[in-house]
Amino acid sequence: MNAIRLAVDTNILAYAEGVNGEAKKQAALKVLEKLPPDLLVLPVQALGELFHVLVRKAGWPPADARTAILGWQDGFAVVETTAAVMIAAADLTSHHRLGIWDAVILAAAAAAGCRLLLSEDLQDGFTWSGVTVCNPFSTSRHPLLDALLQDSS
């Protein structure tokens, strides 16, 4: 199978940090550990949202949340929110009624040449600009993700 790039949405990172319980944490870590790290990219927007979730929802001290996002940044490629990404996100929001911050993550994934965006929050199967939203916890996962997860077993 040719190498495809995958972007990771905030909720997957938050679950991996233990937000929403141990079962979600283990499920997220299992998926992330099975995927080759060089294929994964993190939209910088997802890191900002993760910081917010860890501090506001999980009650982490800001210094600990900072350490967590630095760890993710060190482990994976990060795609910036450029002006072009922001305009694409505004177009995506206008045409598909996504929230702007979800649209920024999807537009950043497209700009990074990703084929899949791993997310439990966005509509599973939604495709835009070559990127398909894929829920990694679904029993009927996208065939490309399924193949990647099986190849690494």
pLDDT digits (tens, 9 = 90+) for 21-70: 999 999 999 999 999 999 999 999 999 999 999 999 999 999 999 999 99
Q: Match 């305009």 to its residue by tokens.
A: 87
pLDDT, residue 153, reads 54
Residue 94 and residue 74: Cα distance in Å, rounded?
34
pLDDT over 60 at 93, yes or no? yes
- If you classify domain 5-151 with CATH, what class do you get? alpha beta
Spell out the alpha helix ranges (H) of 22-115: 22-34, 44-52, 62-75, 83-96, 100-111
Among residues 31, 32, 29, the alpha carbon closest in space to that of 20 is found at: 29
- 3-state secondary structure labels for all residues of 32-58: HHHCCHHHEEEEHHHHHHHHHHHHHHC
Question: CA 114 to CA 121: how far, in whole Å?
Answer: 18
Predicted local confidence at residue 30, as pLDDT = 95
List the domain boundaries for the chain.
5-151
Task: State mean pLDDT over 14-24.
Answer: 96
Of 78, 69, 77, nearest to 51 by C-alpha is 69
Mean pLDDT of the chain: 94
Yes or no: say if 71 and 44 are a contact pair by the CB < 8 Å rule.
Answer: no
pTM attached to this predicted model: 0.93
**pLDDT value, residue 148:** 86
